[in-house]
Amino acid sequence: MSKIKTAFFCNKCGYESAKWSGKCPSCGEWNTFTQEVIHKETKGGKAAPWQADDAPTPGKKTVLIQDVNASQQPRFSTGDAEMDRVLGGGIVPGSVVLVAGEPGIGKSTLFLQLGLQMNDVTTLYISGEESQQQIKMRADRLKATPNDFYLLTETNTQTIFSEIKKLKPQLLIVDSIQTLESPYIDSAAGSISQIKECAAELQRFAKETNTPVFLIGHITKDGNIAGPKILEHMVDTVLQFEGDRHYTYRILRTLKNRFGSTAELGIYEMTDLGMRAVSNPSEILISQKEHHLSGSAIAATMEGMRPLLIEVQALVTQSVYGTPQRTVSGFDLRRLQLLLAVLEKRGGFQFGMKDVFLNIAGGLRVEDPSIDLAVVVALLSSYDDTAVPTNVCFAGEVGLNGEVRAVNRVDQRIAEAARLGFDKIFISRFHTKGLGKHADIEVVPVAGVDEVYRALF
């Protein structure tokens, strides 16, 4: 009998060590090492589980970089415009895509819908969490008419690859990677060693058979992808599916993409018939109001390559408690404190004894610095209790000296504002040199926050 081999793994980052340690040398966390059995029964050239026993071993040889065919890899469309945008133009054959998100956010629904609508592609949906009856009930709710869509409820990778060998699918969806277990690893499903081994087997299958694989993953309570950090390095693309369960909108972000840009995102709306792609999110994110109310401003921001117009809401009230409150939703709290300090120092506005509440309408979380100017205007509007005209929007970053700094892709922001019927947009004065002509909207260049305040209030 072969000797059982064990190792210690960090639960936070997946660092492997031959002995137990109180502090992880990789991430610095304490008391995170656990012992796992990692003995593998197959070593030394045995065929992969998805290959036949008499299959020839693919030849490997060293080549000159000039001899490598650099033609672009062919892609095939998913039938979903938002998904194609996030993936960089479609699915690349042989790619491995990891999708993570909170429980109940809609990951299984989205990719079940994706597999059902690709009628010309043989799809195998592997579920280790739900039964076939549960998946069929969800498919009936989606009201799709699939042709070559197959289900497999199994967690053992050896059984999964034997079924793959019979079916030879063109697309593989695994829900989820944390439920799979390899018979060659003597540890429980979801452990670090099992996730690494199962992901490695699926990666080898994808690369050697040129079959795209989608892996649905869990996240921890901290919001990170569950499992070792090496899982994100092994795959080609990492997508984050996020959103507030109290809102119907979901955002699919790209965290890593070897075949496209990481600046793209897709927006979906959860409906009774599944996930509906939102082609024009700006009209949804701007709330419709009958009366002009103070504390609201429209920001022209960019999410990836897509311009968005979102509403920033602020409420400034006199503090009745000892310490003033600073509460944000969808915005960075430290950035808000910085902007409040700029308004106090450069503008003379007394926010020190006032409670400040800031909200990004629609449940979005925005990190684009061009939203600074709209945040400042919303704060000043609530401070003076004076409404901002509804036909005005803003795009600019605010510096520590109160200056309005330039932002990227300002022409796209202006065009989006004009398309939605806005009459005026405030931008930085440093944009006026290379700016294109926009006849449908008035472009107001400003140098500082004081100019914006005098123009509006």
Residue 339: partners with Cβ closer than 8 Å, 6 or more residues away:
372, 375, 376, 379, 398
d(CA 189, CA 179): 6
First to last CA, the chain: 83
* Ligand-binding site membership of 105 (annotated): yes
d(CA 208, CA 288): 53
* Ligand-binding site membership of 304 (annotated): no
Tell me which residue has tokens 């009459």: 423
* Ligand-binding site membership of 103 (annotated): yes
Say which amino acid occupies 358: L
* Ligand-binding site membership of 104 (annotated): yes
Asked if the peptide bond before residue 279 counts as cis, ω within 30 degrees of 0, the response is no
- Contact (CB, 8 A) for 308 and 382: no
Of 383, 369, 371, the closest CA to residue 314 belongs to 383
Residue 100: partners with Cβ closer than 8 Å, 6 or more residues away:
107, 216, 217, 218, 219, 225, 226, 238, 239, 240, 241
Residue 150: partners with Cβ closer than 8 Å, 6 or more residues away:
122, 123, 124, 125, 167, 169
* Ligand-binding site membership of 154 (annotated): no
**Is residue 270 within a helix (H) or strand (E), and if so which, with residue range?**
strand 265-271
d(CA 159, CA 186): 17
* Ligand-binding site membership of 201 (annotated): no
* Ligand-binding site membership of 107 (annotated): yes
* Ligand-binding site membership of 243 (annotated): no
Binding positions: 101-108
Give the residue numbers of the binding site for ATP: 101-108
